[in-house]
Amino acid sequence: MSIHVKDPMQGQARGCVIWMHGLGADATDMMGVAEVLPVSVPLRHVFLDAPVRPVTLNNRMPMRAWFDILGMKITDREDRVGIVESEAIIADVIATQRSEGFADDTLFLAGFSQGAAMALFTGLRAKNSLGGVIALSGYLPLANEIHPTLALDTPIFVGSGDHDPIVLPAWTSMSVQQLKDQEFSEVTWHRYSMEHAICPEEIRDMGRWISTLLMRKDS
């Protein structure tokens, strides 16, 4: 797995976003999102490449994937071994950023699709606080066995497409409800008229959300 770090051109970073891409993509997908993210505070962006592994759904073809996918149902996307292995990788990256001076409440996990699933799973089981969790076109895997250690007032940004044929809107709705059932009190769900993608409006909303949270910490 590769890790790519981009620090702000000007000023010292006041927050750090750790990005996880979707199935078969790589870190460059999230780099494109971060490049146009409208934020009012300097940020460090850390982009992760998922391990290369055979994916059952794609005829066992090796590709970058956080975990295996067996089929099209949501229950076919719960490769527990792969999810927990990737969780450990992401947790190590969080620990590294913490050791480099970022306070817990300035660290954000963000992901798209499979990466969003990992952001939610890893975030909810984090041993330390986080500034927030961002899940774009994703869902919460292994929800029935998660006993959150993350503070219940941690902000969570969920973005989804109303016409998504890959991560069905019903899956996102169910995941949002699962978060609320776990008593997370700061869940923000934005729905967009799109398929399995990230749209400009979503990037704008996400940038405002991050900026507001970090400016609030400074006030």
The region that residue 101 occupies, defined by phi over 0 for left and psi between -120 and 50 for alpha, beta otherwise, is left
Q: Which of 113, 137, 160, 175 is catalytic?
A: 113
CA angle 100, 105, 110 (to 5 degrees): 85
Concerning whether 196 is annotated as a catalytic residue, the answer is yes
Strands 61-64 and 52-55, bridge-based pairing: antiparallel
Q: Which of 190, 196, 205, 211 is catalytic?
A: 196
- Give the CA-trace dihedral at 122, 28, 92, 205, to 10 degrees: -40
Concerning whether 164 is annotated as a catalytic residue, the answer is yes
The C-alpha atoms of residue 217 and residue 173 are separated, in whole angstroms, by 30
Q: Which residues of 118-132 are buried (b: 16+ CB within 10 A; e: fewer)?
A: bbbbbbbbbeeebbb
Q: Which of 86, 160, 164, 175 is catalytic?
A: 164
The C-alpha atoms of residue 141 and residue 131 are separated, in whole angstroms, by 21
Concerning whether 26 is annotated as a catalytic residue, the answer is no
C-alpha of 152 from chain center: 17
Active site residues per annotation: 113, 164, 196
